[in-house]
C-alpha cells in the first residue's frame, strides 16, 4: 500500500509541475516616450520634462499598467495673449523594447475666461481616448493619456513648472504579437513529466489489479 501511495504522490507532483508551467510570464517593456510641443509663437509656448526612462509590465490580453507621471508640461509665458489662443499640436512618440512603436497626438491652447479674461490657463487635450501602438509583428498595445488644465493664474498665468500638469499614461495589452515575445513554450508539460504521470498511473492500476487477484484467491 505504501508503494501505491508513493506512486500517487509522484503523479500529483508531476501534475502540479505541469499546471505550474501554465503560469503567465509578465512581458517587461522599457524604453522612452519623447514629447514634441509648441516652442515658438504663435501659440502658447510649452516646456516639457520627459520621464528619464519608461518601464512597465503586462501579463496577458486585457491587462493594464499605469504610469502616474509620464511627463510634466508647463508654459513659461506670463499671460495669455491673442496669439496664444491658437491651438497647437503636441505629440508623444513611443519607442519601447520589445518592439513597440507608435504615437499619441493632441493639442495645447491658451485660454482666458471670467470677467475681462481674468482667469487664464493652458489646456491639454488628446485626439483619442486610446491610441494603438504596434507591438512586434501583429500585436497591439493601447495607451491612454491624461490631459487637463495647467498654469492657472489670475490676470496672468502661473508660469512655474510646479504649476504645470503631470501627464499620466495607462497601457493596455490589446493583442499579443505572433510569435509571442516571451517564454510560453513551457506552457505544455515536458515529455519527461508526461512519462512520469503515465508510468505512475499504470503502476497504480497494476497494483490495484494484483490486490484484487490476491483477495479473490484467498477467498477461494
The predicted structure's pLDDT at residue 15 = 47
All structural domains of the chain with their residue ranges: 2-21+188-219, 27-175
Per-residue pLDDT reduced to its tens digit, 159-190:
888 899 999 999 999 999 886 554 444 445 55
Per-residue pLDDT reduced to its tens digit, 21-75:
445 688 999 999 999 999 999 999 999 998 778 999 999 999 999 999 999 999 9
pLDDT band at 218 (very low <50, low <70, confident <90, very high): very low
Virtual CA dihedral for 177, 179, 185, 188, nearest 10 degrees?
80
Show the cell assigned to 134: 504596434
Q: Is the pTM of this model over 0.75?
A: no
Amino acid at each position: 500500500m505504501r508503494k501505491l501511495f508513493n506512486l500517487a504522490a509522484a503523479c500529483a507532483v508531476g501534475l502540479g509541475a505541469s499546471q505550474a508551467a501554465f503560469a503567465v510570464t509578465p512581458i517587461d517593456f522599457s524604453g522612452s516616450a519623447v514629447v514634441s510641443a509648441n516652442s515658438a509663437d504663435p501659440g502658447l509656448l510649452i516646456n516639457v520634462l520627459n520621464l528619464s526612462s519608461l518601464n512597465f509590465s503586462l501579463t496577458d490580453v486585457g491587462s493594464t499598467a499605469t504610469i502616474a507621471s509620464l511627463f510634466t508640461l508647463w508654459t513659461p509665458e506670463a499671460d495669455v495673449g491673442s496669439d496664444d489662443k491658437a491651438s497647437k499640436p503636441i505629440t508623444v512618440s513611443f519607442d519601447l523594447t520589445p518592439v513597440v512603436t507608435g504615437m499619441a497626438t493632441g493639442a495645447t491652447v491658451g485660454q482666458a475666461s471670467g470677467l475681462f479674461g481674468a482667469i487664464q490657463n493652458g489646456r491639454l487635450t488628446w485626439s483619442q481616448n486610446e491610441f494603438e501602438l504596434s507591438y512586434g509583428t501583429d500585436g497591439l498595445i493601447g495607451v491612454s493619456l491624461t490631459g487637463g488644465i495647467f498654469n492657472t493664474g489670475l490676470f496672468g498665468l502661473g508660469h512655474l513648472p510646479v504649476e504645470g500638469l503631470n501627464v499620466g499614461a495607462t497601457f493596455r495589452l490589446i493583442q499579443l504579437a505572433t510569435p509571442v515575445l516571451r517564454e510560453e513554450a513551457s506552457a505544455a508539460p515536458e515529455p519527461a513529466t508526461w512519462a512520469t504521470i503515465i508510468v505512475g498511473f499504470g503502476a497504480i492500476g497494476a497494483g490495484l489489479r494484483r490486490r484484487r487477484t490476491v483477495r479473490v484467491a484467498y477467498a477461494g
